[in-house]
Structure 1
């Protein structure tokens, strides 16, 4: 599954010039989908091509901007303000001309059409067993459901088709999201659950457990609580997934095929095969190079500083008992060159920066042999004090370490090799807990939650991490999802589906609070798509944009 890029250059026909060296060695490049996809090799290659567009959303800046910022837990860092402030801020400049929404829209529809092509061709394939025929269709339909899920969550009513697009089509429909769920997403995932094998044939392939997990997420989104709990419980009980302990080991770069990750988008260290690479390592880290004892290096990352945690996110962790704080955030940096800090000689390996989550007197900070960056609870966007979180124009803050990639070949390399976990076992406990609570069973909801919280406890603090039925409510569920899944492309969807996006952004994201409106529950349809439609009276922009 890590070798799709070679195939894609032929299959999609979108970037022929960039793949000429590969294509000229392979006479299959002269084939057409009508002739090639009806062969066993052709349909397998077409199926592999259906996965590739996942790499344009997962692990990429555009996907992060549309799922992480503009929420209660992340706002714009220095790089976010400089490069793409309008999504987080819901400003009047957030329009259909925005390149992020355009790129994501286009990528998702490329994925949909590739899946449609495979599904339409599979009945005519020769030389394939009936069992494999169903599996191929099930994989393609699983992926199509995921692509459409992102489309309807982001844009609401969108163009919907289950047929392969051939040639130029200019007429677009605007199908209600409910219809897309009923006629596309749900039946596709149900077919996948019925027909996919119980385990993946190779790393990154869709299989039954992954389909059940995504279907549980969809049912939670739709408010089908019993179905969501049943499916999440099935994934917990009927497969060999395990919660990784300690929590920090989840994000060890050498452990990205662990038993908690149910299904991941695959990347690789081979630049020829890695496509855009997983660039998540760039966006959540602050610019440590302002410190005199530090220069940019591979271990600490290339700091694009796009996403800045909000004060609210900081408030969610009880750092004395919850290991997810230190398991998710980097707060200490070690010198990699010799320098002087506050009159003290600092050498490689010495502490250069220490972020502490409480106030420290300035005289103490100025006397320390390293930078102490403290936290006083001031809104991180307005801090001008000496070495406080949010200072240096939003450059100074605890850095999310989940996506760091110290195995990149060079300091400035953007194409990381870390796989991106689309769904992991922890989410199944969160889904089961919320679904049980929604059905009035707070005791069972607490039981599910306590499995996660026990895993997250600092050793010896397990009892203090436990909750009971009286603790479970929507706010607690959203808090726990933030603590567990921070940065993993869930938050905007979580706030939207729970009806809390407007309220929580207004309360906790002061950059966005003056601007966010009801219209922002969906994104603007790309202007390029509006302009291409030959039926503009029917295919109209989303209201307010």
Structure 2
């Protein structure tokens, strides 16, 4: 079997047996309660093989599932899904919670902005991310004592560990704002304050990784120099450090290569980013490696973070969550010039089968649309991969509650499900990689950076690269040869009236900086929809209040689930520090963790 970083329970079990890695203990405890060195036997792991096993374990924590270390006491894998489908997409207006009102009610509070520090989902996310921090810190603390590694080998491991630590802290910072910094020098005292900005420390980790990682790697899934560069640039973008970000984007877009050594480029087909057959492609900057049916017989080798997010009452068996919103669907409407309606897209609503029975006739919308819609959203009468035309209401648990649509980017194909469907748990999993940064994301961040620096022609060039791929005939969704035999192939007839074109020469210059930024931000909405990005984007742009207020007003007229939704300025920009963590943070009679404003 080809050796890759697949977060396999087999690999982790082997680590435990070979290296004595029994440091994931205390089932009811948080990272603040644990002394991770207490049950480590340093002699067992202070070898090259031991360090390599620990490093694989640090990568394994990326999946957010942590069922391999159930002793840390986390909730369901969806609560800490690395896709951030709850915290980024549901909270950002891309999607409804889905299912019905009685199912997973903590998500409803997150969706409507009415969450507080007692919501257990936040505690799960916090613990799982800090589990990754713990694992990287253990590596960094043991590395100096390893005798059978060269200085170059140690630098390689240190670079990968610091890259991973940078990722875990980046996620914590954008989620919670006030985050304690714990590194390898504090490994016996994890009760640290969260009253200082940790962005400089995240930058330092990514800088070290960028300067010391090789441009290519021998194993799929390992971070390389260019993945670190992309993360560092993204860290600058989040801080609005545009002059620092630009040189990195210039290098990434001209010299960057995947870990396999392939020059970064957009794939011809948009869908290739969400297909197990085509993972680790030229657009994959850094991805969590998912696998299924790999012979280990273990649970959750596939992407269990998305296990709820398949159409209800369908061939997938479960569970009807994560239903795209009408607001998102309307965003894919295009005008006569093949461009999006940046301002009044909801005035050009896409026809849906809301309140139409699956047994009743229905004709899909005949207007012009961006084809990325039909690789992102399952809608009535349009091919749902090779599972048949989406039947509408019969695949939806409660249309009145969460609308008529289904997610699509996380769904595997029927023809090769024997290879890529993970059926080891009670709900579906798949071997579709979770791409944390893909090249189109990089291009749109580069466009944003150029626009902020008033280089509007350069910004437009990047956006048009993304739109050119969207217009590629290979990105269109096509009708089946025979609707009754969806695995029998596709015709050359598009499934809808698709029309996408680039912005004309000089368009961004004519729009001015503000207009160009509006176009770039809307392109991110279209390109990265249902990928856990939206909430964090609108928060960093300072548009969250306006966007979500508009969204709640519009969407609540269609469904019942977001009624009463609101965004409170000065509070909802960050999620609350979990109350459980604050309660556990007391040291010498005083708490070390401070709560965010407004909670």
TM-score range (shorter-chain normalised) is 0.7 to 0.9
Q: Distance in 2 between matches of 1:117 and 1:454?
A: 45
Query: Could you say which residue in structure 1 is the equivalent of 2:549?
Result: 506
Q: Deviations over 1:68-87 (max 9, x none)?
A: 21213223323476213111
TM-score, length-scaled by structure 2: 0.72
Say which of 278, 282, 286 aligns to 2:303. 278
Q: Distance in 1 between matches of 2:388 and 2:291?
A: 33
CA displacement at 1:64 relative to structure 2: 2.0
Question: Gapped runs of 5+ residues in structure 1?
Answer: 18-29, 290-295, 337-347, 356-370, 374-388
Q: Distance in 2 between matches of 1:45 and 1:32?
A: 14
Matched residue SS, 1:516: coil
Q: Deviations over 1:287-311 (max 9, x none)?
A: 3x3xxxxxx32xxx34423323233
Instruction: Give the ranges of 4+ consecutive aligned residues of structure 1 lying more than 6 Å apart after TM superposition.
Output: 333-336, 460-463
Query: Could you say which residue in structure 2 is the equivalent of 1:5?
Result: 9
C-alpha change, 1:33 and 1:104, in structure 2 (3 Å) is farther
Say which of 404, 408, 419 aligns to 1:401. 408
Q: Deviations over 1:211-255 (max 9, x none)?
A: 011111111101111222322232222121221112223323311
C-alpha change, 1:283 and 1:7, in structure 2 (3 Å) is closer
CA displacement at 1:349 relative to structure 2: 8.8
Q: Distance in 1 between matches of 2:387 and 2:64?
A: 37
CA displacement at 1:175 relative to structure 2: 3.3
Q: Distance in 1 between matches of 2:41 and 2:563?
A: 46
Say which of 237, 242, 251 aligns to 2:265. 242
Q: Distance in 2 between matches of 1:230 and 1:352?
A: 45
Say which of 469, 491, 501 aligns to 1:455. 469
Say which of 296, 305, 322 aligns to 1:307. 322
Say which of 386, 399, 404 aligns to 1:392. 399
* Number of residue pairs the alignment of both structures matches: 475
Query: Could you say which residue in structure 1 is the equivalent of 2:290?
Result: 267
C-alpha change, 1:35 and 1:6, in structure 2 (3 Å) is farther
Q: Deviations over 1:304-335 (max 9, x none)?
A: 23323233212211363522112222225699
Query: Could you say which residue in structure 2 is the equivalent of 1:45?
Result: 53
Q: Distance in 1 between matches of 2:387 and 2:228?
A: 46
Q: 1:172, 1:539 within 8 Å by CA — same for their partners in 2?
A: yes
Q: Deviations over 1:123-163 (max 9, x none)?
A: 22111122111010000000001111111111111211212
C-alpha change, 1:532 and 1:457, in structure 2 (3 Å) is same
Q: 1:78, 1:306 within 8 Å by CA — same for their partners in 2?
A: yes
Say which of 147, 158, 183 aligns to 1:162. 183
Q: Deviations over 1:409-462 (max 9, x none)?
A: 549543322211111110111011000000011111101100110110154988
Q: 2:100, 2:398 within 8 Å by CA — same for their partners in 1?
A: no
Would you say 1:524 and 2:576 are equivalent positions? yes
Q: Distance in 2 between matches of 1:349 and 1:41?
A: 45
- How do 1:287-306 and structure 2 match up within 5 A? 287=312, 289=313, 296-297=314-315, 301-306=316-321
Matched residue SS, 1:43: helix
Q: 1:220, 1:431 within 8 Å by CA — same for their partners in 2?
A: yes
Query: Could you say which residue in structure 1 is the equivalent of 2:531?
Result: 488
Q: 1:213, 1:232 within 8 Å by CA — same for their partners in 2?
A: yes
Q: Distance in 2 between matches of 1:429 and 1:280?
A: 27
C-alpha change, 1:281 and 1:150, in structure 2 (3 Å) is closer
Q: Distance in 1 between matches of 2:516 and 2:563?
A: 26
Query: Could you say which residue in structure 2 is the equivalent of 1:191?
Result: 208
Q: Distance in 2 between matches of 1:72 and 1:413?
A: 25
Q: Distance in 2 between matches of 1:15 and 1:80?
A: 35
